[in-house]
């Protein structure tokens, strides 16, 4: 009886082990199949996603002067207002906006100063100074109140040449960007470099819709499909 019992137990264990092994193999197979399906469904990563522009981390007026150590390029084209600046009076003429900075416009910041903050008592603006056509101008890169400095320069400016950051873009794309022209086949980042900041017309998927670009007073609408421009035309009213 003992021999029969041992044999039955051995057979039972062998069956249990075989079932467990089969179950494990099935689970691993299903997980592999699910992973492969997800990989097939997921769109390939855009090479632009691997570009990580350098940043500066100023925390007061002195450290903000790091912006004077190298050229900068405008990230938010046609969104940043700039003003005449009097170095004699140490103030910006906020009543007479000169214009807006262009997309990837190259600037040499000559100084960073504190200035008035119109309409906001107790607060001062942090202004970057640059020269253009022989005159000095300023634009805000942050604000300070009660000793609390807040900087927005990383969102506003590149401290590396975008041509080098995105050197893998085709030459014809860069030629169009430098001419401030959008062309079919460009992605939204490339169009933004050419035409400045855009806004969506209506709601929905930004990769499959129409964007409006003020383009420095020459409005353009760009229709995208799967993130690529398929139609570029002058917007109504031009």
- At 89-125, the pLDDT tens digits run 999 999 999 999 999 999 999 999 999 998 888 999 9
Question: Is residue 46 pLDDT above 70, yes or no?
Answer: yes
- At 130-155, the pLDDT tens digits run 999 999 999 999 999 999 999 999 99
Predicted local distance difference test score (pLDDT) of residue 132: 96
Number of domains in the chain: 2
**Buried/exposed code over 186-201 (b: 16+ C-beta within 10 A; e: otherwise):** bbbebbbbbbbbbeee
For the full predicted model, state whether its pTM sits above 0.85. no
Predicted local distance difference test score (pLDDT) of residue 165: 97
Predicted local distance difference test score (pLDDT) of residue 207: 86
Closest CA to 137 of 164, 163, 109, 160: 109
Predicted local distance difference test score (pLDDT) of residue 30: 64
Question: Is residue 37 pLDDT above 70, yes or no?
Answer: no
Residues 148 and 99 grouped into a single domain: yes
E runs forming strands in 54-185: 72-74, 81-86, 91-92, 99-100, 106-107, 111-116, 123-132, 135-145, 148-151, 157-158
Residues 109 and 173 grouped into a single domain: no
Domain end position, chosen among 158, 189, 204:
158
Query: Is residue 25 domain-resident?
Result: no
Residues 103 and 143 grouped into a single domain: yes
Residues 189 and 215 grouped into a single domain: yes
* 202's tokens: 């209506």
* 169-177: average pLDDT: 97
* 32-58: average pLDDT: 75
Q: How confident is the model at residue 64 (pLDDT cuts 50, 70, 90)?
A: very high
Question: Do 137 and 82 form a contact (C-beta atoms < 8 A)?
Answer: yes
Using CA atoms, how far residue 68 sits from 25, 56, 63, 77, 98, in Å, is 62, 12, 10, 20, 22
C-alpha 136: how far from chain center: 28
Predicted local distance difference test score (pLDDT) of residue 187: 96
Residues 143 and 180 grouped into a single domain: no
Question: Is residue 231 pLDDT above 60, yes or no?
Answer: yes
Domain end position, chosen among 158, 190, 205:
158
Residues 75 and 128 grouped into a single domain: yes
Residues 152 and 186 grouped into a single domain: no
Query: Is residue 5 domain-resident?
Result: no
Q: Token match 């300070």: residue?
A: 144
Which residues form the domain of 138? Answer: 61-158
* 11-23: average pLDDT: 57
Predicted local distance difference test score (pLDDT) of residue 72: 98
Query: Is residue 39 domain-resident?
Result: no
Predicted local distance difference test score (pLDDT) of residue 48: 86
Question: Is residue 35 pLDDT above 70, yes or no?
Answer: no
* 2-9: average pLDDT: 56
Query: Is residue 179 domain-resident?
Result: yes
* 78-95: average pLDDT: 96
Residues 148 and 202 grouped into a single domain: no
Phi, psi of 45 (to 5 degrees): -65, 140
Half-sphere exposure of 111 (CA within 13 A, CB side): 12
Predicted local distance difference test score (pLDDT) of residue 44: 65
Residues 112 and 138 grouped into a single domain: yes
Query: Is residue 90 domain-resident?
Result: yes
Query: Is residue 49 domain-resident?
Result: no
Residues 112 and 172 grouped into a single domain: no
Question: Is residue 213 pLDDT above 80, yes or no?
Answer: yes
**What is the maximum alpha-carbon separation in the chain?**
111
Query: Is residue 181 domain-resident?
Result: yes
Question: Is residue 28 pLDDT above 70, yes or no?
Answer: no
Residues 153 and 201 grouped into a single domain: no
Question: Is residue 185 pLDDT above 90, yes or no?
Answer: yes
Instruction: Report the C-alpha gap between 112 and 130 in whole angstroms.
Output: 9
Helix 188-195 vs helix 171-178: crossing angle, to nearest 10:
30
Domain end position, chosen among 142, 158, 174:
158
Query: Is residue 110 domain-resident?
Result: yes
């Amino acid at each position: 009886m003992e021999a029969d019992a041992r044999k039955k137990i051995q057979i039972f264990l062998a069956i249990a082990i075989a079932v467990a092994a089969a179950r494990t193999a099935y689970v691993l197979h299903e997980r592999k199949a699910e992973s492969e399906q997800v990989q097939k469904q997921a769109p390939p990563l855009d090479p632009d996603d691997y570009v990580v522009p350098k940043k500066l981390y100023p925390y007061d007026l002195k450290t903000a002067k790091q912006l004077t150590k190298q050229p900068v390029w405008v990230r938010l084209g046609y969104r940043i207002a700039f003003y005449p600046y009097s170095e004699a009076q140490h103030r910006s003429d906020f009543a007479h906006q000169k214009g807006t900075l262009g997309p990837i416009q190259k600037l040499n910041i000559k100084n960073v100063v504190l200035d008035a903050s119109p309409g906001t008592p107790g607060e001062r603006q942090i202004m970057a100074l640059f020269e253009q056509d022989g005159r000095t101008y300023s634009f805000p890169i942050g604000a300070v109140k009660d000793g609390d400095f807040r900087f927005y320069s990383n969102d506003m400016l590149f401290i590396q040449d975008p041509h080098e950051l995105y050197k893998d873009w085709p030459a014809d794309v860069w030629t169009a960007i430098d001419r401030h022209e959008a062309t079919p086949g460009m992605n939204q980042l490339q169009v933004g470099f050419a035409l400045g900041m855009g806004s969506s017309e209506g709601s929905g998927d930004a990769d499959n819709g129409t964007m409006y670009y003020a383009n420095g007073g020459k409005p353009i609408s760009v229709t995208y499909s799967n993130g690529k421009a398929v139609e570029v035309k002058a917007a109504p009213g031009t």
